[in-house]
Amino acid sequence: MKIKNLKSSLLICSALLLSSANNTFAATASGSMSVTGAVVGTCSLTASAMEFGTLSRSGTTPATSTITPNCTLGVTYAVTNAANTNTLRLDGTSVLSNGMIEFPITLTSSGSGGSANAAFTLANAAAGYISGVGTGSASSSGLSTLTGTAASAATKLSGAYSGTVTLTITY
């Protein structure tokens, strides 16, 4: 009976020792860590092609392009033309006067900035610009329309004309 009591006592003591061992040495403390982050404002810009089609030999030829800015929510932006003149060139490269057709661009509708019908040139950037505040996506509220008017092609060589207009978005 003594051995049985001894076994029972050892078993009870072992159970108590094991259950209290973790708690005997356990302690807690709290601390804090600094957490920081930043959302960097960005913008991008897309524009539909300004396609004049067949250029008139008896007058000017208009074409339009829709400008769509896409900026981070809350970012203020302005879009301007990076040049003062816009030129269609025969085969995209001609420097001959009869192989170039200028096409002034005017601001038809400007979203929330600029002056309607203002020349969309670098020299006239104070009035000929598109501006707004980013919504976080490309939205219809930021859409603006530019109208290009190609000069008469009466004295120009026949062929395919092309050009590039560089737009600048500042934010």
Is 24 contained in some domain?
A: no
Q: Is the pLDDT of residue 13 over 60?
A: no
pLDDT at 54: 95
What per-residue string of b and e applies to 78-95 under the rule 16 or more CB within 10 Å gives b?
A: bbbbebeebbbbbeeebe
Is 125 contained in some domain?
A: yes
Is 5 contained in some domain?
A: no
Is 31 contained in some domain?
A: no
Confidence band of 121 (pLDDT split at 50, 70, 90): confident
Per the CB < 8 A criterion, the answer to whether 79 and 45 are in contact is: yes
Pick the more confident residue, 129 or 23.
Answer: 129
pLDDT at 22: 54
CATH code for the domain in which residue 52 is found: 2.60.40
Q: Is the pLDDT of residue 19 over 70?
A: no
Of the candidates 151, 65, 49, the residue with the CA atom closest to the CA atom of residue 103:
151
Cα torsion 14, 19, 23, 26: sign: positive
Is 10 contained in some domain?
A: no
Confidence band of 14 (pLDDT split at 50, 70, 90): low
Number of domains in the chain: 1
Pick the more confident residue, 12 or 20.
Answer: 12
C-alpha 160/C-alpha 104 separation (Å) is 19
C-alpha 144/C-alpha 106 separation (Å) is 11
Is 162 contained in some domain?
A: yes
| Residues spanned by the domain of 55 | 43-170
Q: Is the pLDDT of residue 159 over 70?
A: yes
Arithmetic mean of pLDDT over the chain:
84
Beta-sheet pairing, 100-102 with 61-71? unpaired
C-alpha 170/C-alpha 26 separation (Å) is 59
Pick the more confident residue, 88 or 140.
Answer: 88
Is 28 contained in some domain?
A: no
Confidence band of 126 (pLDDT split at 50, 70, 90): confident
Is 139 contained in some domain?
A: yes
- pTM as predicted: 0.72
Per the CB < 8 A criterion, the answer to whether 115 and 124 are in contact is: no
For 28-86, what is each residue's pLDDT tens digit? Answer: 999 999 999 998 999 999 999 999 999 999 999 999 998 888 999 999 998 888 888 89
